[in-house]
Amino acid sequence: MPVTRASKYKASSPDVIVISDDDADERPEPCSHLVELRAMKVELKVLRKELKQKQAGSSRVTPQAPVDNGHASLLAKKQEITMLKQQLSTTQTRAENLTRTLEHEKINHRTSVHKLKQSICEVQAESDAIVNAKKELLVSNTSLKKSVDRLRAENAVLKSEVERLKARMAKESSMENKAFGDLEDLICCDVCQETIWHPYLIVECGHTACLTCLTDWFTSTQRAHNPLSCPKCRTAVHEPPIQNFALKDVVRGVVKVVNLSSASNANGNAALESPPRKGVLGPFFRFIGV
């Protein structure tokens, strides 16, 4: 069992002091260095005290002692003093090394503490920045929520307005289609039901038909040797039908609006687009001479 520093001065041999070296290769923790340094200081104090006692004992050698025994005792004491000096020097060197190690560790500890404080300050700054960012996000989120609620309300109002406008447009479209249907009925020939591009009015009854229908009707009536009459109400016709320019203008105006197309009739006899000049025979002269 090795002798530790605390018990080495209680060894069995009074002349030999054994210094334990069982933990020489170990690296103690920083807190154990202080304990070891205190133990070394106590050890140095004890070694110095023993060295002084040995030196004092060697100087008080009695002259009456035999020469050989005195020489041997003096030699032993010198050897013991030399050993104590060596142990004292070794212990003092170890104490100095340990002191330097502790100073170095103290400097490193201060540096670590300084860096740790800097890290704590940086972390605290980052934490404060995160807290401020959270507050800003909370304010922004509240503002965005209000904006979303406002936009939703506006969207609901707009949807309601769109539905109202759609219903209105559907109603107006229905009315417009009905009106266009009525207009188309008004601008159609009573006989062929086509757009009446060249309307002619029968003076006797007031009915109107297109030039083609009246010409075909009068031709078939004349071939049957029947008197001329209105193709709709059979009223006798004695006067040649006259061109209804007012209705023709209405037809062309309505066609522009409803976008009707009847190229064959629209590009019909160009001579009938305007009233016949004086002295020019009308289209019904061959049926009713005037």
- Specify the pLDDT at position 259: 63
List the beta strands (DSSP E) in 5-143: none
pLDDT of residue 19: 42
SS3 category, 258: helix
Q: Could you tell me the residue ranges of all domains in the chain?
A: 8-131, 187-273
| Contact of 204 with 230, CB cutoff 8 Å | yes
Please give the pLDDT value at position 165.
94
The pLDDT of residue 123 is: 94
Helix axes 30-59, 67-186, angle to 10 degrees: 170
Nearest alpha carbon to residue 205 among 235, 228, 226, 232: 235
Q: Which residue has the tokens 């035999």?
A: 66
Question: Does the pLDDT of residue 101 top 80, yes or no?
Answer: yes
Structural element, H or E, at residue 281: none
Question: In this predicted model, what pLDDT tens digit does every residue of 6-37 receive, in sequence order?
Answer: 444 344 444 444 444 444 444 445 566 677 77
The label of the residue with tokens 């300084």 reads 114
Domain 187-273 has CATH 3.30.70.270: no
Tokens of 106: 């103290």
